[in-house]
């Protein structure tokens, strides 16, 4: 019952109830065109905001590469982490200055680093995501040191601003030597394609999965989190198209 109440407290559910009310009004007034438009908006938000709907979009991306659960056959020279945003504000602990995606990637990088014997350097790649904001990679490097990674094993690059520039920056530092690539599971297919396009040898270590092993009837109730997951997937598909048009993949 508590979980059901949590779902009903979501503003997305309120918006859907308002759409439903507007549909009833349009039906009573016999405004067929408006009713059809409201119904389409209702179904779109319902589908994208449900667990199964978001999973339908995310699974083709997240299922492309398996998780790195054992040391790879190729001997990597570095663990490379693509940053995914920051939330810096004065007076917060460094771990709170990272976005959710960046925090997940850092956590996975430390796990992989320990899996491989704690001897490989960690390279954090990513510059300024928004004008006027701090660069992402130095913040993540600082957080890695705060979590116990020795400072001499922490490196960062803060000039690249997108996945393609990330790959070029990695190539400038590593050449064609193999490395473990850590990024979000939904982002891994594009990151791998770009890295291979510029001649790199990445070993995928996806993390931050948004989909689950199974869904219940409760997951059919829309949730803003699922709507955000759908937005991530749609943005990623658009990015694939843009990168193909630019011949980056």
pLDDT in tens, the chain (249 residues): 677 677 778 999 999 999 999 999 999 999 999 999 999 999 999 999 999 999 999 999 999 999 999 999 889 999 999 999 998 888 999 999 999 999 999 999 999 999 999 999 999 999 887 788 899 999 999 999 999 999 999 999 999 999 999 999 999 999 999 999 999 999 999 999 999 999 999 999 999 999 998 888 889 999 999 999 999 999 999 999 999 999 999
Q: Rounded distance, CA 9 to CA 65, Å?
A: 36
State the pLDDT at residue 35. Answer: 96
Residues 56 and 169 in one domain: no
Let me know whether 157 and 50 are in one domain: no
| Structure token digits, residue 133 | 């904001």
End-to-end distance of the chain based on CA atoms, in angstroms? 48
* 198 and 239 together in one domain: no
> Structural domain tally of the chain?
2
Give the model's pLDDT for residue 204. 98
pLDDT tens digits, residue range 27-61?
999 999 999 999 999 999 999 999 999 999 999 99
Q: What pLDDT score does 197 carry?
A: 97
Q: Cβ neighbours of residue 171 under 8 Å, at least 6 residues apart?
A: 198, 199, 200
* pLDDT tens sequence across 156-190: 999 999 999 999 999 999 999 999 999 999 999 99
Q: What is the CATH number of the domain that holds 139?
A: 3.40.50.620
pLDDT value, residue 1: 66
* DSSP letter, residue 73: S
pLDDT at 159: 95
Is residue 84 a part of any domain in this protein?
yes
Contact 156, 137 (CB under 8 A): yes
Distance of alpha carbon 129 from alpha carbon 123, whole angstroms: 18
Task: Determine the length of the chain.
Answer: 249
pLDDT of residue 16: 95
Task: Indicate the pTM of the whole model.
Answer: 0.92
Phi and psi, residue 160, nearest 5°: -75, 145
- Return all residues near 197 (Cβ < 8 A) that are at least 6 apart: 167, 248, 249
One domain, residues 40 and 83: no
Residues 94 and 202 in one domain: yes
- Examine the domain organization and report whether 100 and 159 are in the same domain: yes
Kindly give, in sequence order, each residue whose CB lies less than 8 Å from that of residue 10, ignoring residues fewer than 6 positions away: 222, 223, 224
**119 domain residue, yes or no:** yes
Host domain of residue 96:
79-207
What confidence score (pLDDT) does residue 4 get?
67
State the pLDDT at residue 9.
Answer: 86
């Amino acid at each position: 019952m508590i979980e059901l109440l949590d779902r009903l407290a979501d503003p997305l559910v309120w918006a859907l109830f308002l759409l439903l009310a507007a549909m009833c009004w349009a039906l009573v007034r016999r405004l067929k065109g408006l009713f059809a438009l409201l119904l389409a908006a209702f179904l779109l938000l319902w589908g994208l905001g449900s667990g199964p709907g978001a999973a339908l979009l995310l699974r083709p991306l997240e299922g492309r590469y398996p998780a790195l659960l054992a040391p790879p056959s190729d001997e990597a020279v570095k663990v490379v982490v693509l940053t995914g945003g920051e939330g810096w504000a004065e007076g917060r602990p460094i771990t709170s200055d990272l976005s959710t995606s960046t925090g997940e990637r850092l956590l996975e990088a430390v796990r992989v680093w320990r899996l491989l014997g704690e001897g490989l350097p960690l390279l954090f790649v990513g510059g300024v995501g928004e004008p006027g904001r701090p660069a992402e990679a130095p913040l993540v490097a600082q957080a890695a040191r705060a979590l116990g990674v020795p400072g001499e094993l922490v490196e960062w690059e803060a000039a690249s601003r997108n996945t393609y520039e990330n790959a070029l920056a990695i190539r400038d530092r590593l050449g064609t030597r193999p490395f473990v690539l850590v990024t979000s599971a939904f982002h891994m297919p594009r990151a791998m394609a770009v890295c291979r396009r510029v001649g790199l040898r990445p070993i995928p270590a996806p993390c931050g999965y948004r989909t689950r092993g199974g869904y219940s009837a409760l997951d059919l109730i829309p949730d803003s989190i699922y709507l955000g997951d759908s937005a991530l997937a749609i943005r990623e598909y658009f990015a694939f198209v843009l990168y193909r048009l630019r011949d980056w993949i």
